[in-house]
Structure 1
Amino acid sequence: MLEDIFGPQRSEQILEELREGLSQLRALGLRSPISWGEFLQDLEMPQNVNMHSLQQRVTANFLYFRGNYTVVSAVTIGLFVLFSPVTIFVLVCAFLGMVALQVTRSQAFIVQGHNVDFRSRTILLGVLTLLLAIVTGALGTVLIGSSIASTLSMAHMVCKSPSPQARLYAHAEERKFQEADLEGGSAPDVQHFGGEMRHRRSSSPVS
């Protein structure tokens, strides 16, 4: 389908850019969700907690369940968009604009004697899309959905009692980030560490 619209060469470039973007997201900490059964266990309001213990709880849950929070946010915002025809209209317009940009990527646009390059056209499309989202209220719909998703995630971080695995994972993650900051290196490969944690959990004896 992409080849029919953009041609074989440009289609391959787009797919390569998507793969590179996904790799960057994984490097930044995107991970697969933990089982939803574990995600929903032991939910209760904390009793007699101080700010330090609350901060540790929120940090542990965020690092351990960030894949789940990503799914919760995507589903929540998606539902708001689904029930907002105006927002769908804006997204369709933005998508068609992006397709038009890619199709005309190599073509020159001369406006009053000035060549409008691809980068300038991309910025113009972004500005027009933002203005359209503001005028139609689509931006407000997305912001409301994002706020509710953030509230749900934060409520879970506060009410969820971290498991020993979550505390261990959070401690190791914090140590890795601290080491990366001290060494001036890149962010740690949390996907690899997450795989090690799952392997340890599956291979540990059941008491």
Structure 2
Amino acid sequence: MSLTEFEDFLYGACLRDWDAEAERMAKIKERFDRASEVRIVGAGTDLTVSLEGREGEVDAGHANLPGGEVYYSPVEDATEGVVHFSEFPAFSEPYELESVRMVYRGGRVVEASAARGEDVLFETLDRDEGARVLGELGIGCNTGIQRYMRNTLFDEKIDGTVHLAIGAGFPALGGKNESVVHWDMVKDLRPGGQLLCDGEVVQENGRWLI
């Protein structure tokens, strides 16, 4: 990527009409706030997360730039299923992991694998008691970001993606899980993915239906 291309990317990601973006994301938040259960379906992925009694937060560029996500601390003991981060690497400085896959039962990671960096994955999962619990569900909403940049601050905001963080939750959002770990991994739902709220498809192939 040339400097000019990076400038165009950066301005497109950050110089948004954030008032309009906040209004758009508030509608997404309102639908997810009403959901007891969110199901994430994609390549190698079928994961169910409970948001019962949890309210989300909109990042509309006030806390950091770029903004562009709605995020939650899920119910700690209710995550079930499998997620495969097959599209993008997972970064834990200075390490880059490929094809991370995790199976959740009763809210905890019970199986895990990675095509590269598996030792780092297991070391992190075993860091403390809370490291195997899902601490965050984030929903990317920034339509100005369409390409992967290998920088989580940007990548987790891509419209049509979700990011899931193992470890610490957000107490301000009702999160109770404590851990020294908070590791975001990005899942691309644009190629054939779905987001469902209480069984209703609200996003398909990365396109919002609400």
TM-score (norm 2): 0.21
Structure number having the greater helix percentage: 1
Structure showing the higher strand proportion among its residues: 2
Report the TM-score, using the length of structure 1 for normalisation.
0.21
Which structure's relative contact order is higher, taking Cα pairs within 8 Å and 6+ residues apart? 1
